[in-house]
Structure 1
């Protein structure tokens, strides 16, 4: 299989245009069309649907996409393996992560990653949406919620249980809840997407309806009002590690339930060949979060 044609196919999937792919590769649109047709003939399938303005992947194109990336990444890795001058991570690293977690725990890592790896570029997409990482060309997705069955490969980075917190000022004024039933007496600040708070009891999931005067689709907003003393809120631990360490928030323990055990996961399209840029990022994130755990325990 011609790797230049495979690489061109990846450019076409990114630009969604034969014309734009030609400009990026500095060749004619006719040459792009010929090389794409050559790859399709070799595979015996149609990879893209062509229109006058854009192209879209066929089902066969979607299925071939992760293999195409693996082939190109494997070639890049093989070249780097035998070139002492190119031992740093290189290429475009595409990451998707929840917005709150990404701003607090991934964005601070970017300057050092780029400084240590001059040939690396990073595209960080922060969103609460669960995206198709294969179809969108994402290298790694950071997920917090419980994982659903899928063909993706999951690597655990660290534990991240749900916790409930309040500011010292709020607890001094309103008292400290000791059980789930006590939550009824408190103003509970909620994420709009999480209408019920989730706990565990004897290994079973327990969903508790809570009431409050404020909700938001943004974890930063809920955290800010919680710090200001407007109520109690439920977060995942990595949303509030800093505030707990500084004493701005206090983690509450309820006698009749336990925090839901969640984790921070890195989801990958495949581990058949893991590009150095991906493993470098995962190692960096894991090291950073581990350092945070150690700091919290001191």
Structure 2
């Protein structure tokens, strides 16, 4: 009979590139991984894995065991969570993926504080320039900024967030006037590459008329790191498009000024992406998301 330990082992193997990688993940020797895989295949009387010289791949039967086994483990985790709720204990592993800038400045302190409140948790925070959901090794929570592309995931609003077109007073003083979106074509534009978005197509909507104008800018400077772009803008090297959360201080002390204030950009709300509805999520995930909502915004809804 297949056991939960068998499933846990095979899921860990399926999420690894090789038997050696599986051994490192499970903190055992490679021969023991190979022996356990052979025993599992003999138990089920099917071949689960194709063994290559450098990597492994799942057979059709192996893929079924991985996908269905992963669902079974989630159900077991949910059952354990519901039982644990009776004694109010929040515990277990939580994997969180977040953008580098926002994750560093705003998510990481909350992760540490949440763990301090719930010391039985083990939280892994993964920062990425392109935070997204992966089916092979799925996280528990993805923090995402901008337009949501995958509608199959549950979206929980954490923080309202606008985008602005910004430049330093010094740049604006010495540059040509900017009265319409088309004027941007004659200016130095700064671009950050993130979320695989089309970052050189700027779409601006007039606040009064509702008319939307698209401008394909040719960036003079580009980077995949937010602070680099912001420093360039503050130092007068051009115009950038950035999120409200990232530039509030610079706007307050007038190091950056809004360009074309009569126009707006598409909203870039900050959301938590999870795979299931609240009643089907483990208590640890609900508690963590609730903590983020409480400390990032008072107007979020699940």
TM interval, short-chain normalised: 0.7 to 0.9
2: CA distance between counterparts of 1:140 and 1:220?
24
Structure 1 counterpart SS, 2:297: helix
State the partner residue of 1:151.
152
Map of 2:126 onto structure 1: 125
Aligned residue for 2:122, secondary structure, equals strand
Greater mean deviation of Cα atoms: 115-124 or 61-70: 61-70
Are residues 33 and 123 of structure 1, via their aligned partners in 2, closer, same or farther at CA, if it must alter by over 3 Å?
farther
Q: Is the counterpart of residue 231 in structure 1 residue 238 in structure 2? A: yes
Question: Is 1:72 aligned to residue 76 of structure 2?
Answer: yes
| TM, length-normalised to structure 1 | 0.77
- Equivalent residues in 2 for 1:105-144 (5 A)? 105-129=106-130, 131-144=132-145
The CA deviation at 1:23 is: 4.3
User: How big is each residue's C-alpha offset from its partner over 1:97-144, in whole Å with a ceiling of 9 and x where there is no partner?
Assistant: 222222222122232122112122222222233544221221111222
What are the within-5 Å matches in structure 2 for residues 104-253 of structure 1?
A: 104-129=105-130, 131-174=132-175, 177-192=178-193, 194-201=199-206, 206-253=213-260
State the partner residue of 1:51: 51
Aligned with residue 278 of structure 1, among 273, 285, 301:
285
Unaligned runs of 5+ in 2: none
Structure 2 CA distance for aligned equivalents of residues 144 and 31 of structure 1: 42
- Whole-angstrom distance in 1 between the partners of 2:65 and 2:214: 42
Q: 1:111–1:174: structure 2 CA closer, same or farther, 3 Å change rule?
A: same
156-165 vs 126-135, which deviates more?
Answer: 126-135
Return the TM-score normalized by structure 2. 0.76
Q: Take 1:129 and 1:244, find their aligned partners in 2: how far apart are those partners?
A: 26
Per the TM alignment, residue 188 of structure 1 is displaced from its structure 2 partner at its CA by 1.9
Deviation at 1:239, TM superposition (A): 2.6
Distance 1:33 1:54 in 2: 17
Q: Kindly provide the CA deviation profile for residues 26-60 of structure 1, in whole angstroms up to 9, marking residues without a partner as x.
A: xx54456545765x57xxx87x4252776544442
Distance in 2 separating the partners of 1:59 and 1:203: 49
Deviations 1:64-94 (A, max 9, x none): 254134223213303312335xx23x22211
